[in-house]
Structure 1
Amino acid sequence: MTIEEYENTKNELINNLESELERLADAANVSYDSEEDIENIIDKAECDLELINSQIYDVKNALSELRKMRNTRIEE
């Protein structure tokens, strides 16, 4: 992975994460009229959280790959 590819991927992940966090914040600031509305938003928020966790996992993997690349170069 080149530095440019890494930066592009990182920026995309950050933008996705920010978008998901904004959706969660928006959902928390809405007045809900029924129990069904509340259940629906909880379901959506749980999906958003799963997406955020997935993105965090992707960032951790990318960081691990970068460390491996660095260590390989140091050993050479």
Structure 2
Amino acid sequence: MAQVVRSGERLRAAEEVIARLRGELAAASVTLPSLRVDVVSLASETPCPLVDLGRCTLETAARLADALGAVER
């Protein structure tokens, strides 16, 4: 039962991070339509969710690069 709870917590954490990332990207006018939890990473006995950024158009990739370049380092 403890394994199921931890798995659920990890999935919720991944979904929260994805929602946060989606919001930050939207604020920078970038949409990654395939942004999601990688379902294959959930298939193991001890799931370790990975974030799948997915595929995007060249225009979207350029907007993402511009947004990252605008971040003060």
Q: TM-score, normalised by structure 2?
A: 0.39
User: Between Structure 1 and Structure 2, which shows a larger proportion of helix residues?
Assistant: 1
Answer with 1 or 2: which has the greater Rg. Answer: 1
Higher relative strand content: 2
